[in-house]
Amino acid sequence: MDIPRIFNITESAHRIHNPITPEKLATLGAALRLQPGDRVLDLGSGSGEMLCTWARDHGIVGTGVDMSQLFSEQATLRAVELGVADRVEFIHGDATGHVSHEKVSVAACVGATWIAGGVAGTLELLARSLRSGGIILIGEPYWRQLPPTEDVARGCLAHAISDFLVLPELLASFRQLGYDVVEMVLADQDGWDRYEAAKWLTMRRWLEANPDDELAQEVRAQLSSEPERYATYTREYLGWGVFALMPH
């Protein structure tokens, strides 16, 4: 079980696998008013930066689940590096359908709502692990400005304009699904730069080390096209945020 190998290549040097910066991640942890001993479940936990830094800074305990063997191994090493290996654990596995054995204070899926078929399904899944009075975290894209054409939407790697909502509509959709929005931390263009542009040096270094790999041509094509595509489309049109929700 693993994610497509191309992502393990392009994001192998990332600690955070979405457009949020370490500073914004710290802001989010503080905004949630986390207390020592709070239990956090993170589905699609990537390289574990959220759980590890929150364990260090706020004393939480937690479990992360991710399909990438590489990222899960990096998360375990990060926990050791930050001295929190006794507080957080990382499971290499399919987060789809994963429910915590113990109810949690925070149930999160930050940028991987595909695990349950979208936002609505992911909310239903996370709610099964949530204690009364707990908070759900959803990380999700939205349109900073509505693309003028479907071609522009596809340039943002969406299938269609209808894939995402503008921010007010996204917030309204949470209410319609039965949740109050109680906090949010939004990525900015610098966060997008750090997420996207950091891939380019990783790809170049990988190509130098693996010129004959079966994916070398695909990686070379991405490195050649991604800077212009990103600057033209994603950076201008696509937003991303983490939204803290509590059931009505």
> What's the pLDDT tens digit per position in 102-161?
999 999 999 999 999 999 999 999 999 999 999 999 999 999 999 999 999 999 999 999
**Residue 24: both structure tokens together:** 């914004």
Q: What is the DSSP letter of 146?
A: -
Compute the distance between CA of residue 190 and CA of residue 115 in angstroms, rounded to an integer. 27
What number is the average pLDDT over the span 13-20?
Answer: 98
Confidence (pTM):
0.97
**Residue 66: both structure tokens together:** 């991710």
Kindly give the interhelix angle for 69-81 and 49-58, rounded to the nearest 10 degrees.
Answer: 20
Among 191, 200, 199, CA closest to 25 = 191
Q: What is the DSSP letter of 152?
A: H
> What's the pLDDT tens digit per position in 195-205?
999 999 999 99
| pLDDT, averaged across the chain | 97
Q: Domains for the chain: give ranges and CATH numbers.
A: 5-142+150-243 (3.40.50.150)
Count of Cβ atoms closer than 10 Å to residue 237 Cβ: 20
Residue 80, Cβ density class (10 Å: 0-12 exposed, 13-18 middle, ≥19 buried): exposed
CB 124 within 8 A of CB 98: no
pLDDT, residue 100, reads 97
